[in-house]
Structure 1
Amino acid sequence: MTTLIATALIDSDGQPQFGHFASPVTDLMLHRFDYRTVMDKPASGLARYFHFKQFQFVSLCHADWQIGVAIADIRYAANSFCYFFNRNSQQLDEVSQLKPLSIGVSMSASPVSGTALFNGKQHIQLTPQGLNWQLKLSGSLLQGDINLTAAPGSMPLALCTPTGYNGWTYTQKHNALDVSGQLQYRNQALDLTCALAGYDFSAGYMRRETSWRWGSISALLPQGRFGLNLASGVNETGDNENCLWLNGSRQLLPAVRIKLNRQQPEQPWHYCSHDAAVDLYFSPQQCRRERLNFGFLASNFRQYCGTFTGSIRLQNGEKLQLDQVPGLAEDHFARW
């Protein structure tokens, strides 16, 4: 597989560069993009603005708890959420916020610099710093200032794929990152010593109606620090975003089918590749859900905290066995 080396996502001809990148792009260069209608005419300024979507997400994983923090800007509105899941009590505590027309919300224009900011009852600030990220939180639910740090030599997944007839999606993800700093849940200090983190920076001209299924792990295994990202339904035109990290080393994985029963959400999900290199079952424990339906805009979002059990075949032929390893799963429909 050829990997791209580029600092700008949109090239000098106004076209996105598709494929896996050896390292993150430093600038999307949106102003260069030659955005066209489906009839190949230049898109209007309003279309260029409102059709662009971006979201950033951070997960923090500990043996006793799970935290998810997100900011999403779909131009017509921006929303954010923070949740804290206690694995021992199986209780999920959350704050969700919505701002029409994204007023007062800013997003970082680069996946390696800038700041995403959402002010409200739960203040969120996400700052990419090269391969590392900083997260600041203030509010009644979560308060803190933490750093997410990649292991030396570890690289994120950085990928751009064609989306629909005239769009593209850039995603950058990195799991099993070290966590440092200080963090409180409802004014109670959390021990970050054994916590690991992952982040997701995604942006682009995505399908008007889209959906995806997803799975993610950042956990300590007997073999060391382990990260996993699996997705189905998005970023699959020619390439996919499936990969793992083991002690900082990244390995790409084949396409996966993700099977679940929405009418019986307590049943295990199955993540499986055609060659059985990936064969995992996810057992849901608790769910952060949100359903919004404004006709023109709609979102049916479910993110589950739970555990993964099964196996993944490494490049050297060894099978990595997972036994109730904490992680996340997601099922999402969006009309935006």
Structure 2
Amino acid sequence: MQKSTMNNYLPQLAATPQQLIQSNGQPVFGLFDGSIPDFNLRDFVYQNLMDKKANPLARYFQYKQFQFICVTGSDWLLAVAIADIRYANSGFAYLYRFDSNLAISKGVLLPGALGCRMSDSPSAGEAKQGFAAYKVEIKTSATHWQLSIDTKELKASLTIEKASQMPLALCAPTGYNGWTYTEKSNALAVSGTLELQGKALDLTQALAGYDFSAGFMRRQTSWRWASINAVVEDQAFGLNIAAGVNETGLCENALWFNGQIQHLSPATFVFDRKDEKKPWQVSSLCGEVQLEFTPLYCRQEKVNIGLLASNFRQYVGIYTGFVVLQNGSKLKLNAVKGLAEDHYAKW
């Protein structure tokens, strides 16, 4: 690894509170050094745009939540999501094979809470979604996440170890009166079983990442996002960076290398929506990240049904470039597998 003269980005971390909502009825804002165990949403005092107490219906429908897991193996990538947007719930599970450029993808979009149950805690909860032909379940605890998938072609029973490293955890103001809690961790050890069309896939080199996001989010929002779980220079390497959300004095950008987290400066994504094969340029404000992403596969969906709209594109591809570690060393990435996402939502 080469040394770099680039400046380090060193944000101040706050001690993790035991509860998200304070005695004044408002959330604790900050970048934390661990996972918040109790959201105690019942104590949140939610006000409307005129500073009056929001009615129960608005309080219910304006709270959103999604959970996401990605597992990257030697020649494949698995991505799974469950989202509760109150008016509807959606989810997907797909597996992409790099060796054959083929993907098996399943998904659901159901009205209201039909077939879906979520939890308010990233460290003590359970999320379920689906019906007879499509079932996904995520269980969270302080030490690990468990993922089960049961579809005709894709089956999984996986355990993702989260206790080995510090997560990226933050709560940021959103819009005038909302907030968003985000917790993510990448480059985590994974064990269990994963089958594609009845054939077991090798988990020996697999690494996983998770995302727990919830809160009173903007009615209309959009984001760009990049994620990596890979072995680089014989060490576990993870990356999570985004632009468009959680940027009210904070940003949800970090890398993990050999079990250590490094927070990163705000990110920029340059790409062409009209040319989905054209590489993306992904970089950070202080220069710690300089990457090019080449898309290979895209899972996309467009929904526009009045109250709800979603223009979603999640790409599987490869990253090439470098990141600068806290000690100034330049870590080179050469054709590393990962994800990129471009999403607009009205919810």
Q: Please report the TM-score for the alignment, with normalisation by the length of structure 1.
A: 0.98
SS class of match (1:175)? strand
Q: How does 1:1-336 map onto structure 2 within 5 Å? A: 1-120=12-131, 121-150=133-162, 152=164, 154-336=165-347
Q: Give 1:163 deviation, angstroms.
A: 0.4
Shift of 1:27: 1.2
Question: Contact 1:151/1:177 (CA < 8 Å) preserved in 2?
Answer: no
AA aligned opposite 2:338: G
Give the CA deviation at 1:47. 0.5
| Runs of 4+ residues deviating >4 angstroms | none
Cα contact 2:108–2:130 (8 A) shared by 1: no
Which runs of no fewer than 5 residues in structure 1 stay unpaired?
Answer: none
Where 2:147 maps in the other structure, the secondary structure is strand
Unaligned runs of 5+ in 2: 1-11
Q: How many residues align?
A: 335
With normalisation by structure 2, the TM-score equals 0.95
Deviation at 1:150, TM superposition (A): 3.1
Q: Structure 1: which amino acid aligns with 2:252?
A: E
* Cα shift at 1:223: 4.2
User: Residues of 1 paired with 2:180 and 2:153: CA distance?
Assistant: 32
SS of residue matched to 1:36: coil
1:151 and 1:248 in contact (8 A); partners too: no
Structure 1 pair 151/14, CA: closer, same or farther in 2 (3 Å)?
closer
C-alpha distance in 2, partners of 1:63/1:330? 22
Distance 1:313 1:145 in 2: 35
Residues of 2 paired with 1:275 and 1:220: CA distance?
Answer: 24
Q: 1:148-173 CA deviation, whole Å, 9 max, x = no partner?
A: 01363x11111110000000000000
Q: Secondary structure at the match of 2:238?
A: strand
Q: CA deviation at 1:275?
A: 2.6
Q: State the alpha-carbon separation in 2 of the partners of residues 183 and 74 from structure 1.
A: 29
CA contact (8 A) 1:85 1:91 kept: yes
Give the secondary structure class of the aligned counterpart of 2:125: coil
CA distance in 2, matches of 1:106, 1:144: 19
Q: Equivalents in 1 of 2:128, 2:259: separation in Å?
A: 29
Greater RCO structure (CA 8 Å; 6+ sep):
2
Bigger mean CA deviation after superposition, 117-126 or 297-306: 117-126
Q: Tell me if the contact between 2:17 and 2:36 (Cα under 8 Å) persists in the aligned partners.
A: yes
Tell me how far apart the structure 1 counterparts of residues 100 and 303 of structure 2 sit (CA, whole Å): 28
Deviations 1:173-198 (A, max 9, x none): 01111111111112111111111110
